[in-house]
Amino acid sequence: MTQELHIVGGGMAGSEAAWQAANRGIRVVIHEMRPKVGTFAHQTEKLGEMVCSNSFRSDDHKQNAVGLLHWEMLAADSLIMRTAHAHRLPAGGALAVDREAFSQAVTDTLHAHPNVTVSQEEVTDLPDQGQWIFATGPLTSPALGEAIATVTGADRLAFFDAIAPIVHADSIDMGTAWMQSRYDKGETEDEQKAYINCPMTRADYEAFIDALLAADKTEFHEGETAGYFDGCLPIEVMAERGRETLRHGPMKPIGLTNAHTPEQKPYAVVQLRRDNALGTLFNIVGFQTKMKYGAQKEVFRLIPGLQDASFARLGGIHRNTFLNSPTLLDAQMRLRARPNIRFAGQVTGVEGYVESAAMGLLAGRMAAAEIAGQTLPEVPQDSAHGALVHHITGGAEAKTFQPMNVNFGLFRPLDDVRGGRRGRKERYKGYTDRAKAAWTDWLAAQGEGPAQGAAAE
């Protein structure tokens, strides 16, 4: 086997794809443009950098679709997922990590792999020879973006997400705030007290909403069309939709009791989650924003407990580049017009670290099989990976295609289960049980048992 696999982009998807292919005996070259060419969001030259939140979201593999994706990735020996588990921080039911240690470990592991070479360069065209995976993410460099648009003949689509701010822990007033995970979730005391909570009275809340609505916001760049992805709405956009929206979203007070005044129920609560292993940084959960920097400081300091907050990083808006995959990619994630080229990660129209890495896992395995003259067994549609890849390569409506998080709505319905809210628990368990069986069979068809570390029942 002499053919190399070229992977463009060493983020979540590219790093995972490289690991999967290299472990199948394929020689891999990762072309990563950082640090020579940067993006506005990446801050290091490391592989697998987390550009915003330090969370891989829910780790519940029985009742949550992203938790199920975690389970499947661990079973398939995912580099991203096993490294995340190795650098996990207490965060209730979520899989949050120390971001520095995480990306350093991903970088070290790939650099040490005998089949992997890392080349620091920007790739600006789609070669017509060789096997390539493009995993260049939401911030694909403009030159490459143009080249993709030329080859695909389709316009790039752009929309905006927003970054949540990070606060220095020692600037938070713990005489006002308290530590608790919602519903005290978690096995250990650390887990049960993973979040810092800032309480608001009704008057605090109303004043906060007024300030949020009045704050200066960043304007869109010329030629950019605004269209937010619903899972990542900026808080000011939520507030514009209704004064109570935030109180039913990231500021909901349920499952929390103010340790300082247990008899007094807060009207709203702002939560902060640990952002590094040292516990010196906390991010404000769900507080993505496109307010201007000066306005952010003023508005966030209205939150009781954050009146003296010092910010390690303020929020911001960002671009997202993604393909109309249902029309452009085949079931093997290859560009129909150039089958020597695959795409993986967020650029294929999935959304999130986990989903992006999962699409890297599939693309890496598909490319490795092709180079070895084999075909990877069809990814089972009942697995979380299968539900997602099926959605982007054909299941989704091409005309209205928008980036997608993994969710049970992408799964084929189950027979004999109750619908509605009442049947939800049983239904979700049914989806995850079925997915695990399908995924285990798929791995077995490739001669693998579940890798060590896959969550047990």
Ligand X SMILES: Cc1cc2nc3c(=O)[nH]c(=O)nc-3n(C[C@H](O)[C@H](O)[C@H](O)COP(=O)(O)OP(=O)(O)OC[C@H]3O[C@@H](n4cnc5c(N)ncnc54)[C@H](O)[C@@H]3O)c2cc1C
List, as residue ranges, the binding site for FAD.
Answer: 9-14
DSSP codes, 258-314: -SS-TTS--SEEEEEEE-STTS-EEEETT----B-HHHHHHHHTTSTT-TT--EEE-
User: Binding to ligand X by residue 346, rule CB under 6 A?
Assistant: yes
User: Binding to ligand X by residue 325, rule CB under 6 A?
Assistant: no
From 178-186, 204-212, 350-358, 367-375, give the range in contact with ligand X by CB under 6 A: 350-358
Residue among 273 and 334 whose Cβ is closer to ligand X? 273
Q: Is the peptide bond before 165 cis (omega within 30 degrees of 0)?
A: no
Say how far apart CA 215 and CA 220 lie, in whole Å.
16
Q: Which position has the token pair 């690991």?
A: 19
- Cα torsion angle, 258, 261, 265, 266, sign: negative
Residue among 136 and 258 whose Cβ is closer to ligand X? 136
Backbone angles phi, psi at 186, to 5 degrees: 125, 160
SS3 124: coil
User: Binding to ligand X by residue 309, rule CB under 6 A?
Assistant: no
Ranges within 46-85 binding ligand X (CB under 6 A): 51-53
Ranges within 397-456 binding ligand X (CB under 6 A): none
Say how far apart CA 367 and CA 372 lie, in whole Å.
9
Say how far apart CA 43 and CA 57 lie, in whole Å.
22
- CB of 244: closest distance to ligand X in angstroms? 25
Residue among 156 and 427 whose Cβ is closer to ligand X? 156
User: Binding to ligand X by residue 358, rule CB under 6 A?
Assistant: no
Binds ligand X (CB under 6 A): choice among 94, 123, 284, 371: 123
From 26-34, 186-194, 201-209, 390-398, give the range in contact with ligand X by CB under 6 A: 26-34
- CB of 179: closest distance to ligand X in angstroms? 22
Say how far apart CA 333 and CA 296 lie, in whole Å.
41
State the Cα torsion 434-437-442-444 to the nearest 10°.
180
- CB of 385: closest distance to ligand X in angstroms? 15
Q: What Cα–Cα distance (Å) separates residue 158 from each residue in 229, 395, 402?
A: 11, 21, 10
- CB of 257: closest distance to ligand X in angstroms? 28
- CB of 403: closest distance to ligand X in angstroms? 9
User: Binding to ligand X by residue 234, rule CB under 6 A?
Assistant: no
Binds ligand X (CB under 6 A): choice among 6, 24, 290, 318: 318
Binds ligand X (CB under 6 A): choice among 109, 180, 356, 440: 356
Other C-beta atoms closer than 10 Å to the C-beta of 380 total 20
Task: Give the residue numbers of the binding site.
Answer: 9-14
For ligand X, the binding residues (CB under 6 A) are 8-14, 31-34, 39, 41-42, 51-53, 122-123, 135-141, 144, 161, 163, 318, 345-347, 352-353, 356
